[in-house]
Amino acid sequence: AAKHDGGSNCLRYTAGMAGAVAGSAALGAELRQAIARGELFLEYQPIVALDDGRPIGVEALVRWAHPVRGVVAPIEFIPVAERTGLIVPLGDWVLREACRQLAAWSAEHGSPVASVNVNVSARQLTDASFPDRVVAALDTAGVAPDRLTIEITETTAVGLGDAVAHLEVLRRLGVRIALDDFGTDQSSLTLLQDLPVDEIKLDRSFLQRAGSGRREAMPAAVLALARAVGLEVVAEGVEVQQQADRLTALGYRAAQGYHFARPLSADAAGRLLSGTAVAGV
């Protein structure tokens, strides 16, 4: 039965892939125009303190308001952008926009609101211009470096190259570095040992209930590891109260997920950050 199910999943997946691949050449050409046409936008998902649910920061997540396809998710166009090299200008736009928005929230609400996390791909991180681009985005917006966290994935950092040097430059300036989706790659521990990082984000797969006893032991183990090496941890993908309770009981202090808030428009996130709206929307 398992084999049969696997087979049908494979078929569906293959059919979906074929559609995605057929569309990707067209998507690549259009993506080139998307930035100039102002079709990209960011949503912001709050990162909250587990003790009282207050937002302590946001993660910027890019979307593409395609004129025909509607809103396209990053999973569909980030890989295309990575293959074509468009990720460099696209990522630069994301950095600038996230910093600009953070400054705008601070101006609107009269107080500095938290911090912003920005996802960065390998191609961007290893690009010679990366440190300068980050500094320019911060300077243009007038945002202090310690209000920005760069999220890199474990795969981003594989094949390191100049990645470590670039991260070190930024970190010396005060920019924070987070290792995203932690625990999903084979090289997690080596990277944790070798990369200059401040924080890890526990991958959401470790919170799923239908797991083995071993899977259920992972959040505690990762927290112990993080403490041993002096890093902060954010748990990703908290969807229900029970998960939040369990993380709190284990000693986690920060989390992110649909249970607290979905990715929000800039306006909605600004209201949440300024305390004029409550989480849970």
Binding segment for ligand C2E (CB under 6 A), chosen from 5-13, 31-39, 134-142, 236-244, is 236-244
As measured in angstroms, the least distance from the Cβ of 106 to Mg ion is 22
Binding to Mg ion (CB under 5 A): which residues in 221-240?
Answer: 236
Question: How would DSSP label each residue in 34-63?
Answer: HTTTT-EEEEEEEEEETTT--EEEEEEEEE
Residues 6+ apart with CB under 8 A from 138: 99, 144, 145, 148, 175
Cβ closest to ligand C2E, residue 30 vs residue 180: 180
Q: Is residue 84 involved in binding ligand C2E (CB under 6 A)?
A: no
Residues in the interface with Mg ion (CB under 5 A) total: 5
- Secondary structure class of 183 (helix, strand, coil): coil
Binding residue (CB under 6 A) for ligand C2E from 237, 255, 272, 273: 237
Closest residue by Cα to residue 272 from 76, 54, 106: 54
Q: Is residue 151 involved in binding Mg ion (CB under 5 A)?
A: yes
Cβ closest to Mg ion, residue 30 vs residue 50: 50
Query: How far apart (Å, rounded) are the C-alpha atoms in residues 139 and 32?
Result: 26
Binding partner of 247, given Mg ion, ligand C2E, none, CB within 5-8 angstroms per partner class: none
Is there a contact between 73 and 65 (Cβ–Cβ < 8 Å)? no
Binding residue (CB under 6 A) for ligand C2E from 92, 97, 154, 180: 180
- Record the tokens describing residue 82, joined without a space: 């990575």
Binding site for Mg ion (CB under 5 A): 119, 151, 180-181, 236
